[in-house]
């Protein structure tokens, strides 16, 4: 029998333990924010591809170290883990890139098909973007628009389902000293409702707040090198609650869902 897991406890532990893990890892968050600031500034260097690539690698490494530090604070000290976590993260990024490109391409092509089927507009290859946008907006309140929204919702649901099934991969990788990605799929299978409910408070809400704060910040920063550095660094810091609560919830879920935590089978007879 699978033990029921409380989403409320996952949220509570996620925020409490995630915030408590900030102190020991402030230096890594600072490094991550600094790298993000210089990466943001490097994107504005015209004709220079080496600097953005170099800063992207540095930012990725700083983010991995911050994540590793959080997990070590949340589940206990573990030797190594940097390369294994980098490997696991790259595997997840590539998987999401594959699904995201496929779904995104389909959602870009689908409006043209639906607009043509609706028959109110004839959009050729040289149609003005304003006309395409007008046709799309007028299609949305119609049954064709409902079809598009349903398909888009299904695509987002697929990505969300995939993300929930991968909730434990970071904690498992650090705890076990080996990259664990799809190996964690069976561990979350019976707990998707709890993970989905908890992730609304530990992932979706702080992520949305970070996006809104970043958008507000960009509108007031100057278009200068210093402004770009501040934008990138502050962008990382504004997403810190999302990172802390997300890691905290993942660690709390891992402690409950890993195979060792399963109750022994009942022997009848």
Per cent of the chain over pLDDT 90 is 60
Angle at 77 between CA 176 and CA 202, to 5 degrees: 80
The band of 161, judged by pLDDT with boundaries at 50, 70 and 90, is: very high
In this predicted structure, the answer to whether residue 67 has a pLDDT above a threshold of 90 is: yes
In this predicted structure, the answer to whether residue 1 has a pLDDT above a threshold of 70 is: no
Q: Do 239 and 210 form a contact (C-beta atoms < 8 A)?
A: yes
Higher pLDDT, 151 or 124: 151
The whole-model pTM stands at 0.86
Distance of CA 89 to the CA centre of its chain: 11
Q: Do 199 and 164 form a contact (C-beta atoms < 8 A)?
A: yes
114-129, pLDDT tens digit by residue? 887 877 766 666 667 7
Query: CB count, 10 Å around CB of 181?
Result: 19
pLDDT for the residue numbered 12: 95
């Amino acid at each position: 029998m699978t033990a029921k897991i409380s989403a409320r406890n996952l949220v509570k532990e996620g925020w409490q333990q995630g915030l408590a893990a900030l102190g020991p890892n402030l230096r890594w968050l600072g490094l991550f924010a600094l790298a993000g600031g210089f990466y943001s500034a490097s994107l504005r260097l015209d004709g220079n591809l080496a600097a953005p690539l170099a800063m992207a690698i540095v930012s990725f490494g700083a983010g991995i170290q911050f994540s590793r530090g959080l997990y070590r604070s949340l589940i206990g000290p573990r030797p190594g883990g940097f390369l294994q976590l980098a490997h696991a993260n790259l595997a997840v990024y590539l998987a999401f890139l594959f699904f995201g490109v496929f779904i995104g391409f389909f959602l870009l092509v689908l409006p043209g098909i639906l607009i043509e089927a609706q028959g109110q507009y004839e959009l050729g290859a040289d149609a003005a973007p304003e006309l395409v946008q007008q046709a799309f907006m007028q299609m949305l309140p119609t049954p064709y628009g409902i079809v598009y929204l349903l398909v888009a919702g299904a695509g987002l649901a697929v990505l969300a389902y995939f993300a929930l099934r991968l909730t434990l991969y970071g904690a498992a990788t650090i705890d076990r000293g080996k990259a664990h990605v799809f190996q964690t799929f069976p561990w979350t299978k019976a707990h998707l409702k709890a993970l989905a409910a908890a992730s609304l408070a530990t992932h979706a809400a702080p992520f949305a707040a970070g996006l809104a704060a970043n958008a507000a910040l960009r509108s007031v920063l100057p278009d200068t090198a210093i402004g770009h550095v501040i934008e990138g660094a502050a962008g990382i810091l504004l997403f810190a609650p999302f990172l802390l609560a997300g890691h905290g919830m993942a660690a709390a879920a891992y402690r409950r869902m890993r195979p060792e935590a399963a109750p022994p089978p009942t022997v009848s007879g």
